[in-house]
Structure 1
Amino acid sequence: MRGEWPDGWKRMPLADAGKWLSGGTPSTANSAYWDGDIPWISAASLKEFRIDRSDRRVTRLGADNGSRLVGKGTVLFVVRGMSLKSEFRIGVTERQVAFGQDCKAIIAADGIDPYFLAHAVQARMPEILAMVEETSHGTGRLDTERLQELEIGVPPMPEQRRIVAAHAVVERRIAALERVRAKFRVAEAALAAEAFAEVASRWPTARLESIATVAAGVTLGSEPVGEGAVELPYLRVANVLDGRIETADLKRVRILRSQYERFALRKGDLLLTEGGDLDKLGRGAVWDGRIDQCLHQNHVFRVRCGEKMSPDFLSLYTSSDAGRAYFQRVGKQTTNLASINSTQVKHMPVPVPSLTEQEKLLGPIRSIRSRVAAVDRQLSKLRVIQQGVLEDLLSGRAISGQPGEVVRR
């Protein structure tokens, strides 16, 4: 997408693609500014491509005093927050909204469809994430001046709209699979909740540190060089999702060979994330050992179970309502960021039934998870196809025909 575009397409930097706007946060001390009917979009609440809601809402008075109002068809994206460590959140407003200082807005210029513009930017996610810098607080920050220098190709409006329509066809297929996946996850959560509610009261409990070891990973920054160093892949927050681990985009880090055992992962280690959105605190999954000699970053806790605890059972508990409630209760929260520390993880009270009871509970859960895994594989393939199609369309290497049809030039 960064070469020559077809005849009739305009090459332009993002700075010229529309009017750029910054947001803000009305004073939380003034009750007249909040709980109105205008969604207030922040780095934490910008989660959908089509933006029309938020957990926090402002009044018109609040929007006029410290925030920024934009209308339908405005492109919004995150420029600061923990989410920037793993993804670039962007979308288009479906109604009038206000937004905070951790986001930027672009009102598309004449001749540019806002949905096309959002897709054109979204397709450059790898380059954009490479621009993200880490602040002293551990959050990500995107330099908008560098972002504005990115060039996109803009075709005539009819072709823009065909590209948007072609993308929407694939998006609907993905949405259908995600609904199926969500039903399976609801069933899994219901099974776990029912089991914990029925028998948890008779299980003994213990602090996590008494049945497992908790460790932080490699701190990035000053990497060693020389004969005593080795470069290895590592898992960061972006790789550790809720119930699964993605390794398609692993990064590498250099450590001293003598530090390897301290930071190395073993099959069966439970990985929990340190920070993010409040409802995502402590999200994690069990490492399956798919990569030899793999490490973990300091923002990912490694929990290694002892003889009394199955890592799959512990993972089920940490992701349960009770487990999430604990992390939300002890987590430190700022406006758009929440975090937990290793002491809080170590002090987490967990049920400790016998291994036989743990395995009995895990049986039906594993059956559902195998179905979820099958859907995940389909989703992964479809997203790869979607990305390839979008790149071909946005580069002009292909044109959109009938709905869902893409033809190479």
Structure 2
Amino acid sequence: MMDMTVAPAEQEAGSGGWPWELPAGWCWTYLGELGAWTGGGTPSKANKSFWSNGTVPWVSPKDMKADIIGDTEDKITIDAVENSSAKYVRIASVLMVLRSGILRHSFPVAVTDRIVTLNQDLRALTPFEGIDPTFVARYLKFATKRVLEDCSKDGTTVNSIEVSALERLPFPLAPLPEQHRVVNRLDALFTEISEGEAALAEARKGLETFHRALLKAAVTGELTRDWREKNKPVKTGHDLLARIKAERAAQTSKGRRKRMQDTEPLNTTDLPELPEGWAWALVADVGSVQLGRQRAPQHHQGENMHPYLRVANVFENRIDLNDVKEMNFSPAELETFELTPGDILLNEGQTPDLLGRSAMWRSAERGFCFQNTLLRFRAIEPLEPEFCLLVFRHYLHAKRFKRESQITTNIAHLSSGRFSTIEFPVPPIEEQKEIVRLTQHGLASAADTRILLDSQLSDAARLHQAILKSAFEGTLVPQDPADEPASVVLAHLKAAPSRATIPRRGRKRAVRE
């Protein structure tokens, strides 16, 4: 154990290199001086007697999701503890993850409420008598940023904390009674904050439900039920389909569009009934479908390099151009794959629940193309592209695309052929415009509310940290001059440190203690 170096508040003020000035009765020390440290170990997985019907909690990083560690996903046997590197760790010890990818952004800390063992990626600090383990754990939560910046190992494949650096972490120690007052006050305040955060999270879930419900109402006609009663269409969805068919035939005869392959007529037997004036069609009946250009080494350079979009660029109703790659497109290929305003891009290859995620290309910038991880849908006039996007967004949330998927190695694919034969609701053109107007207004209001909720959640996180800062600067609760100073407590403890681990064959006795 390092030399017991403490800085009583009255000696420390304005000097000594400690992080901040402390109130009377407090003192600076180091984390390594607060108790005894214990490492962990993993009993051999090959020995079934170490793991079968185990009763001893064995803590690993995956268990470190709560402030209190009791039960664990894995348990080992007493035989495993007695015949491996695993050690018993006492109740009221502070556990820390010292090796895990999670250390890129978090420093998991928890307190034990029973005797446990650890795997080798954790370390336990069993505080001396006179030091509240929850007080220690709360400070480590507050000091997460400093721990990750100052104590992380360099050059390791897995993020790791240097134990010796962690033991040198400055620690503001309060008198024991004040430690208890701080912990109790933090518990009360954090309970209030948690209740507020839960309410905000529930409200955000409600927005997601509203989002899905609004899209469904939009494409089933429920959203415009009242509008239809006051606005009888001059031309129906069937009339619109006939016009689209004529437009397609005219473009084909002029050579402006390839002749579409005939598709099977749509069977509407199992489809929901549409409002009066609406019609069912196939996706292929109302627009052209094109799979993007495949990447290949010969396209990585050339005279006609153009930016192209891929799955990583297309989110729901949003295209991200921060990471756009280029490949060579001949003039003929550019004519086929170039995007124009109103084109809708859908994820062709994705995880099953995100298959068909879609967004509209709205930019007038020329020369952008798309890769074969995306499908392009181009609506035939006079169909409203914005309405088409609403249909596809609803199908995403309703898992309609998922039902048409073909899954390979955990990636689902939506082929152009399967996509083309999906049913598509066609309202009269004026109703399409009203649906788009109402839906965009509703979604914009929901987006504004979501921003407000996210801001409030961020405020709650900042409040959490501000409260911890106040606690460990000694301003959260009042000081009591009658409390024994922390420096005196540490001096007494140096002579009689407590034990961190329990003898391997003394567990029953330890439990009785």
* TM-score after normalising by structure 1: 0.56
The match for 1:75 among 94, 97, 109 is 94
Q: Give the match's secondary structure for 2:23.
A: coil
Quote the Cα distance in structure 2 between the aligned partners of 1:391 and 1:174.
Answer: 16
1:88-139 CA distance string (max 9 Å, x none): 11111122222111111100122211000111222111111113246553x2
1:388 has 2:466 as partner: yes
Quote the Cα distance in structure 2 between the aligned partners of 1:372 and 1:68.
Answer: 48
Q: Give the match's secondary structure for 2:181.
A: helix
Q: 1:193 to 1:380 in 2, by over 3 A?
A: closer
1:4 has 2:21 as partner: yes
Amino acid corresponding to residue 466 of structure 2 in structure 1: G
Q: Match of 1:102?
A: 121
1:307 Cα deviation after fit:
3.9
User: Contact 1:212–1:306 (CA<8 Å) still a contact in 2?
Assistant: no
Q: Give the match's secondary structure for 1:384.
A: helix
Q: Give the match's secondary structure for 1:39.
A: strand
1:378 has 2:417 as partner: no
Structure 2 gap segments, 5+ residues each: 1-17, 216-269, 272-281, 285-290, 295-307, 314-321, 327-344, 347-353, 359-372, 378-387, 403-407, 427-435, 480-513
Quote the Cα distance in structure 1 between the aligned partners of 2:43 and 2:138.
Answer: 30
Superposed, 1:35-114 pairs within 5 Å as 35-64=53-82, 65-114=84-133
1:364 Cα deviation after fit:
10
Quote the Cα distance in structure 2 between the aligned partners of 1:58 and 1:209.
Answer: 54
Q: 1:394 to 1:349 in 2, by over 3 A?
A: same
| More displaced 10-residue stretch of structure 1: 44-53 or 34-43 | 34-43
Q: Give the match's secondary structure for 2:54.
A: strand
Amino acid corresponding to residue 176 of structure 1 in structure 2: E
Amino acid corresponding to residue 392 of structure 1 in structure 2: S
1:202-256 CA distance string (max 9 Å, x none): 999xx9998972569xxxxxxxxxxxxxxxxxxxxxxxxxxxxxxxxxxxxxxxx
Q: 1:187 to 1:389 in 2, by over 3 A?
A: closer
Q: How many residues align?
A: 296
Q: Match of 1:400?
A: 477
Q: Match of 2:30?
A: 13
Superposed, 1:258-277 pairs within 5 Å as none
Amino acid corresponding to residue 71 of structure 1 in structure 2: R
Quote the Cα distance in structure 2 between the aligned partners of 1:157 and 1:118.
Answer: 15
Quote the Cα distance in structure 2 between the aligned partners of 1:66 and 1:189.
Answer: 49
1:126 has 2:204 as partner: no
1:366 Cα deviation after fit:
9.6
Superposed, 1:293-372 pairs within 5 Å as 307=376, 347-349=411-413
Quote the Cα distance in structure 2 between the aligned partners of 1:91 and 1:167.
Answer: 15
Quote the Cα distance in structure 2 between the aligned partners of 1:362 and 1:374.
Answer: 18
Amino acid corresponding to residue 395 of structure 1 in structure 2: E
1:53-101 CA distance string (max 9 Å, x none): 3222223333443323223211001111110011111111122222111
Quote the Cα distance in structure 1 between the aligned partners of 2:414 and 2:186.
Answer: 45
Q: 1:189 to 1:377 in 2, by over 3 A?
A: closer
- Structure having the higher strand fraction is 1
Aligned alpha-carbon RMSD (Å): 5.1
Q: 1:260 to 1:374 in 2, by over 3 A?
A: closer
1:193 Cα deviation after fit:
11
User: Contact 2:283–2:424 (CA<8 Å) still a contact in 1?
Assistant: no
Larger Rg: 2
The match for 1:142 among 161, 169, 188 is 161
1:11-56 CA distance string (max 9 Å, x none): 1111111111101112222222225233321122211112223222
Q: Give the match's secondary structure for 1:122.
A: helix
Q: 1:365 to 1:261 in 2, by over 3 A?
A: closer
The match for 1:115 among 111, 129, 134 is 134
The match for 2:46 among 15, 24, 29 is 29
Q: Match of 2:501?
A: none
Structure 1 gap segments, 5+ residues each: 217-258, 264-268, 271-281, 287-303, 324-328, 331-343, 403-409
Superposed, 1:203-214 pairs within 5 Å as 213=310
1:308-356 CA distance string (max 9 Å, x none): 598xx89x979x9x99xxxxx96xxxxxxxxxxxxx7xx4446967898
User: Contact 1:78–1:102 (CA<8 Å) still a contact in 2?
Assistant: yes
Quote the Cα distance in structure 1 between the aligned partners of 2:80 and 2:446.
Answer: 46
User: Contact 1:43–1:81 (CA<8 Å) still a contact in 2?
Assistant: yes
Quote the Cα distance in structure 2 between the aligned partners of 1:159 and 1:7.
Answer: 12
User: Contact 1:174–1:379 (CA<8 Å) still a contact in 2?
Assistant: no
Quote the Cα distance in structure 2 between the aligned partners of 1:105 and 1:362.
Answer: 54
Q: Give the match's secondary structure for 2:124.
A: strand
1:140 Cα deviation after fit:
0.8
1:4 Cα deviation after fit:
2.5
1:9 Cα deviation after fit:
1.2
Quote the Cα distance in structure 2 between the aligned partners of 1:141 and 1:187.
Answer: 39
Q: 1:4 to 1:181 in 2, by over 3 A?
A: closer
User: Contact 2:91–2:113 (CA<8 Å) still a contact in 1?
Assistant: yes
Q: Match of 1:275?
A: none
Q: Match of 1:230?
A: none
Quote the Cα distance in structure 2 between the aligned partners of 1:208 and 1:32.
Answer: 56
User: Contact 2:172–2:472 (CA<8 Å) still a contact in 1?
Assistant: yes
1:144-202 CA distance string (max 9 Å, x none): 1111111111010111111111211222123323444565677789999999xx99xx9
Quote the Cα distance in structure 2 between the aligned partners of 1:29 and 1:212.
Answer: 49
Superposed, 1:151-170 pairs within 5 Å as 151-170=170-189
Quote the Cα distance in structure 2 between the aligned partners of 1:105 and 1:15.
Answer: 11
Quote the Cα distance in structure 2 between the aligned partners of 1:2 and 1:76.
Answer: 24
Q: Percent identity?
A: 23
Q: Give the match's secondary structure for 2:95.
A: strand
Amino acid corresponding to residue 126 of structure 2 in structure 1: I
